[in-house]
A and B are shown apart, each in its own frame.
Chain A
Amino acid sequence: MLKIAEKVVERARVHGAQQAAASAYQVREVSVQWRDGAVEKLTEATTRGVGVELYVDGRYASVSTSDLRADALDTFLADAVAMTRALAPDPFRALPDPALYAGQAAVDLELADPRYADLTAVERRELAEQLEAAARDTPDAARILSVTTSVSDSQSHSWRVHSDGFAGEKSGTSYWLGAEVSVQDPDGRRPEDACYAGARWRGDVPEPQGIGAEAARRTLSRLGSQKPASGQLTLVVDARAAGRVVSSLLGGLSAAGWQQKRSFLEGKLGAQIGNDLLDISDDPLVVRGLGSRRFDGEGIASRPLPLFADGVMKNGFIDTYYGKKLEMPPTTGRLSNLRWRLGSRTRAELLADVGDGILVTGFLGGNANGTTGDFSWGIQGFAIRGGRVAEPIGEANISGNHLTLWPTLLAVGDDPYRYSALRTPTLVFGGVHVAGR
């Protein structure tokens, strides 16, 4: 596939592109879905394709194809170059400054498990079966309507080649286990919940017993959930759920949003956005990290990037194009992994401090307005009474605005969620609007 990427750049130039950058990829994906004692679905395939960014007479297009036959590829590139010529010129389009390619970290990120090929079809099936058995191993098993489990793994390789000499290769593996459980609520509802866990190396994936049991525990805890009363309450967002709130905040860091003036964080570099507990950086160099990389999608060498320090906005996600438009140096266009300045208290200690409020364990729909920072999301979770988790609640919404939410960040937990590149810990906010009854 490296040869295909090289060939694509070469042919694009022959057809008239002054510059080109190609990425070719090959991914093998295997998954087993298991339901109630039998395999539901087996999927296995190796997928591949190539994408290329074209710079033609000051114009830009980005194209991709999965038809890699030599003749088809050549016709495709000729058509793509012709299409690019029909566009208006764009003086801000260019490959990155080659100086930014230099300085890739010398660290081995260990993103690919060298023993990927060892996992057998029989082992996948056994894991799927064990996940179900663990979910059903509960005194309340009679309430369980159905258990669906999944075992999936993938191995990916990609090659990136630029006409200005950049060449890079990436490979990675991942393994995921999951269990989804449905239970019968005496009132007719059939609440469902799930637990998923994964890692880049098989040896880092937790045992299926814990995952299955957690899925059942979470689902059974939903029985009898009620709509809470409306009000302004202290909100504890658990580590697994907090990604929704955090990714919405980070949406405001996109340079495209700044340049298009559609970002509530536009013009706020150096400004206090949250209180001093808000302290996050982008860290692409986490060994075995889900979002780790040595260079980004443009070939720019990856390095840690402070986003918020003591509540002050330090950087945004600036790619080459919007960096040129904004006359700002590029950082990187995309998030990798987040690194948080963690608190020292556990979730239980945080709940005890809160006394009364709501623990959010999941979100249901909703959205945010990226221009103004307003958000409104459906939630489910539990009431917190006397510092302890009390009855389950659901069919409720929270709403607010990021610019007034983050100054009310009361505490950050010690428990980053391992199964997302956002690595969010438990977050506690004061006085959030909850709409229920």
Chain B
Amino acid sequence: MSTALAAALQYFGRFGVDETLIRTALSAALARGGDRADVYFQHRVAHSLGLEDGAVNRAWSGIELGVGIRVLRGDQTGYGYTEDLSPASVRQAALTAAAIADGPALDRPIPQLVATAIPQRYPAKTPWDQVAASTRLPLLQRVQERAFAADPRVQKVTVHFSDEEGAVLMVDSDGRVAFDEQPMTLIHMSCMAEENGRRESNGGNIAGRAGLEFYTDAKLDKLVQEAVDRTTILFEAVQPPAGEMPVVLGAGSSGILLHEAIGHGLEADFNRKGVSIYADKLGKSIAAPFVTVVDDATPQGARGAINVDDEGNAAGLTTLIHDGVLQTYLHDSISARHYGVAPTGNGRRQSFRHAPLPRMRSTYMQNGPHTPEEIIASVERGIYCGNFANGQVQIGAGDFTFYVKNGWLIENGKLTRPIKDVNLIGNGPKVLEQIDMVGNDLKIDDGGWTCGKDGQSVPVSQGMPTTRVRAMTVGGRG
């Protein structure tokens, strides 16, 4: 037995998981003639702490333990799961999943289990199970103190801190084993400020796959300063304008545009079904030659980083658009087999209760030829987007939106007045064609982004250099 397999079985052994249980599950899964099957054991321990009205006076914690069993027959999926890891319960869940096929079992013994070697992109130096609650509390208190000290208009501060650790063990009917320990942490602060009887609130968060070492004083202080600045500037904000105009996306979290305008549309399940607006665009030029977009599993410690995907496939850097030409979709095993290509390591799932789907990881645009200064200076009248709350897309029609929490008016090449709370809407392929300047200041945002699809949430990252879109519809009133 390899050491990786031994480590996996040592981790899950305390829950009664051994090679016999795994083989029982896989054999039951294939009992009705499925082509392939896999099991996904998961253990996750999460803690969070909340600070409100001056004290860290609330906590939550949760343990998730269970197994999901998937059976594939061509493009078809049968799925069952259970929180009860007793052999009888696991076997029953596997038989449920097996019902996607309805014939006799093929004569296919499960071969010897062989663990896949995986990279270590997020080793926690101080894992959360070695951190006492009393060590976490001062992090929240520091954030609160700094926020009140930063500006006298700040009246209320809340801080939410969470950490998570755990592991997944995946074994498929070819005997492939992957084991990954997955830490995650996030701190969110929000504040409410008052000025002349008016109230405004805003916030910020940072997140990563890491242990306690993630939180340096400098990082926390930057979080606080940004959140307070983003709140107090709202008192000066004017009504955002309405209608079509040039839009400059600031470096960093503007990557939400890529996530919505193109990322989802390139998830191969939508293309396999022919329902994506990008379904017939592989190999075609869809953006200016200085536009290169990637989906990357590798950024060290990033929220969207993965060592291996949730099907046990290797995950690396996938180039979606190279010099303006569409290169590939984002694949899971099902779509890769459908298209006859190698999986891209994008098969991800929320938990053992869900079958994997093609999903993004860390999606960003590479640097381009322009400077941020010349991009802003090029706009006569438009808006600059600073930070974002959320976005959404219609995969087929291509329309997508993102909500700008803070931004600026650009008048005669200069940022003049702040704006707030405005939704932008565009059409994916049209907006890609209209990206006509890309800056040389790529920044991958370290915010706690979560992507939702088909009822499943997964952590992601995104990034962007300063970028100009010739025209988008800005949903303001001015």
Interface residues of A (CB under 8 A from B): 35-36, 38-49, 59-68, 72, 76, 79-80, 83-84, 86-90, 93, 121, 145-146, 148, 182, 185, 188-192, 222, 225, 227, 230, 260-262, 325, 364-372, 374-378, 380, 394-400, 433-437
Q: Is the CB of B56 within 8 A of A262?
A: no
Is there an interface contact between B392 and A378, defined as CB atoms closer than 8 Å? yes
Asked if B422 CB lies within 8 Å of chain A CBs, one says yes
Residues of B within 8 A of A185 (CB): 397
* Residue in B closest to A362 when the chains form the complex, CB atoms: B394
Stretch binding the partner chain, chosen from B73-81, B337-345, B433-441: B73-81
A40, B395: Cα distance in complex, Å: 19
Which of B171-179, B268-276, B303-311 has 4 or more CB atoms under 8 Å from chain A? B268-276
Count: A-B pairs, CB below 8 Å: 261
Complex Cα–Cα for A148 and B275 (A): 10
Residues of chain B lying within 8 A (CB to CB) of residue A68: 83-84
Residue in B52, B194, B403, B426 whose beta carbon sits within 8 Å of that of A366 in the complex: B403
Q: When chains A and B are docked, how far (Å) is the Cα of A182 from the Cα of B476?
A: 31
Of the residues B62, B79, B423, contact of A378 by C-beta under 8 Å: B423
A376 lies within 8 A of B399 (CB)? no
Q: B462 in the interface, Cβ–Cβ < 8 Å?
A: no
B64 touches A66 (CB 8 A): yes
Q: Are A83 and B273 in contact (CB under 8 A)?
A: no
Closest to B100 in A: A42
Q: Judge if B474 is at the interface, Cβ distance under 8 Å.
A: yes
Known: A61-B60, A190-B275, A260-B156. A364 touches B425 (CB 8 A): yes
Question: Judging by beta carbons under 8 Å apart, are A262 and B201 in contact?
Answer: yes
Determine if A377 and B475 form an interchain contact, defined as CB atoms under 8 angstroms apart: yes
Return the chain A residue nearest B430 by Cβ.
A395
Task: Return chain B residues, CB-CB under 8 Å to A369.
Answer: 201, 420-421
- Inter-chain contacts of A364 with B (CB < 8 A): 392-394, 399-401, 425
Closest CB in chain A relative to B276 CB, distance in Å: 7
Instruction: Tell me if A191 and B390 are in contact (CB < 8 A).
Output: no
**Segment from B4-12, B131-139, B218-226, B368-376 that makes contact with A:** B131-139
| A378 CA to B402 CA, complexed, in Å | 9
- Assess whether B56 is in contact with A87, with CB atoms less than 8 Å apart: yes
A86 CB → nearest B CB, Å = 4
- Can you give 6 A-B contacts (C-beta < 8 A)? A87-B133, A188-B277, A262-B201, A325-B53, A397-B475, A433-B242
Task: Name B381-432 residues within 8 Å CB distance of A.
Answer: 389-403, 420-427, 429
A435 and B399 in contact (CB under 8 A), knowing A84-B59, A364-B425?
no
Would you call A182 and B200 a contact (CB within 8 A)? no
With A190-B396, A399-B476 given, is the CB distance from A367 to B134 under 8 Å?
no
Would you call A260 and B52 a contact (CB within 8 A)? yes
CA of A398 to CA of B201 in the docked complex: distance in angstroms? 22
Q: Are A145 and B275 in contact (CB under 8 A)?
A: yes
CB closest residue in chain A, given B391:
A365
* Distance in angstroms between the alpha carbons of A41 and B429 in the assembled complex: 30
Contact across chains for A146 and B273 when beta carbons are under 8 A apart = yes
Complex alpha-carbon distance, A41 and B79, angstroms: 7
CA of A374 to CA of B133 in the docked complex: distance in angstroms?
38
Cβ B62 vs Cβ A65 within 8 A: yes
Q: CB distance A435 to B82 under 8 Å?
A: no
Q: Are A192 and B396 in contact, with the CB atoms below 8 A?
A: yes
Contacts of B53 in A (CB 8 A): 325
B115-136 interface code vs A (CB 8 A; 1 in, 0 out):
0000000000000000011100
- A182 and B402 form a contact (CB under 8 A): no
Q: A378-B399, A378-B425 are in contact. Are A437 and B242 (CB under 8 A)?
A: no
Task: Give the dominant DSSP class at A's interface.
Answer: strand
Inter-chain CA distance A403–B446, complex, in Å, is 35
Residues 451-478 (chain B) with a chain A CB within 8 angstroms: 473-477
Instruction: Please tell me if B99 contacts chain A, counting CB pairs below 8 Å.
Output: yes
Q: Are A261 and B199 neighbours in the complex by a CB distance under 8 Å?
A: yes
Complex contacts, A93 vs chain B, CB 8 Å: 57
B40-62 contacts to A (CB < 8 Å): 47, 49, 52-53, 55-62
Pick the most buried of B75, B200, B201, B355: most chain A CB atoms within 10 A of its CB. Answer: B201
Cβ of B156: which chain A residues have Cβ within 8 Å of it? 260-262
Report B-chain residues with C-beta under 8 Å of the C-beta of A374: 420-421
For B200, the closest partner residue in chain A by CB is A371
**CB-based nearest B residue for A54:** B59
With beta carbons under 8 angstroms apart, the residue of B49, B79, B133, B425 that contacts A42 is: B79
Chain B: minimal CB distance from A10 (Å): 20
Which of A45, A59, A121, A192 sits near B99, CB closer than 8 Å? A121
Nearest-CB distance from B151 to chain A (Å)?
A: 16
Contact A365 B133 (CB under 8 A): no
Is B199 in contact with A372, judged by CB distance below 8 angstroms?
yes
Closest to B59 in A: A61
Across-interface contacts of A395 in B (CB, < 8 A): 399, 425-427, 473
Which residues of chain A come closer than 8 Å to B13, judged between CB atoms?
Answer: none
Are B395 and A192 in contact (CB-based, < 8 A)?
yes
| Residues of chain A lying within 8 A (CB to CB) of residue B355 | 41, 43
Closest to A433 in B: B477
Does A189 contact B397, Cβ atoms closer than 8 Å? yes
Indicate whether A60 sits within 8 Å of B57 (C-beta atoms), given known contacts A192-B275, A262-B199, A364-B425: yes
Q: Which residue of B lies closest to A260 (CB)?
A: B156
Q: How far is the CA of A41 from the CA of B396 in the complex (A)?
A: 21
Q: Is B106 an interface residue (CB 8 A)?
A: no
Q: Is the CB of A182 within 8 A of B80?
A: no
Separation of A74 and B451 alpha carbons in the complex (Å): 35
CB distance from B197 to the nearest CB of A (A): 12
Give the residues in chain A near B159, CB-CB below 8 Å.
none
Contact with A along B17-55 (1 / 0, CB 8 A): 000000000000000000000000000000101001101
Q: How far apart are the CA atoms of A64 and B61 in the complex, in Å?
A: 6
Q: What is the bound-complex CA distance between A121 and B102, given in angstroms?
A: 12
- Kindly name the residue among A44, A84, A396 whose own CB sees the greatest number of chain B CB atoms within 10 A: A44
CB closest residue in chain A, given B242: A435
A17 vs B392: C-alpha distance when bound (angstroms):
44
Q: Is residue B93 contacting chain A, with contact meaning CB distance below 8 A?
A: yes
Assembly CA distance A426 to B156 (angstroms)? 38
Given the complex, which residues of B lie within 8 Å of A190, measured CB to CB?
274-277, 279, 395-398
Shortest distance between the CB of A335 and any CB in chain B (Å):
21
Task: Please state if B57 and A365 are interface contacts (CB–CB under 8 Å).
Answer: no
Within 8 Å CB of A62, what residues of B?
58-60
Among candidates A43, A60, A260, A367, residue contacting B389 with C-beta atoms closer than 8 Å? A367
Residue B244 interfacial (CB < 8 Å): yes
Query: Which of A45, A90, A222, A370 is in CB contact (< 8 Å) with B353?
Result: A45
A61 contacts B475, C-beta separation under 8 Å: no
A367 touches B64 (CB 8 A): no
Residues of B within 8 A of A86 (CB): 132-134, 137
Q: Evaluate contact between B401 and A45: CB separation under 8 angstroms.
A: no
Residue B315 at the chain A interface, CB threshold 8 Å: no
- B475 and A67 within 8 A (CB): no
B434 to A: closest C-beta gap in Å: 13
Q: Are A399 and B242 in contact (CB under 8 A)?
A: yes
On whether A367 and B65 interact (CB within 8 A), knowing A47-B83, A83-B133, A372-B199, the answer reads no
B30 to chain A, nearest CB (A): 15
| A365 and B390 contacting across the interface, CB-CB below 8 Å | yes
By a CB distance below 8 angstroms, the chain B residues around A188 are 277, 429
Task: Give the Cβ gap from A229 to chain B, nearest Cβ, in Å.
Answer: 9
Contact A46 B423 (CB under 8 A): no
Question: Is there contact, CB below 8 Å, between A63 and B83?
Answer: no
CB-based closest 7 A-B pairs = A397-B475, A365-B401, A365-B392, A190-B396, A88-B55, A435-B242, A86-B133
Alpha-carbon distance between A368 and B264 when the two chains are bound, in angstroms: 24
Query: In the complex the two chains form, is B402's CB within 8 Å of A365's CB?
Result: yes
B274 near A145 (CB under 8 angstroms)?
A: yes
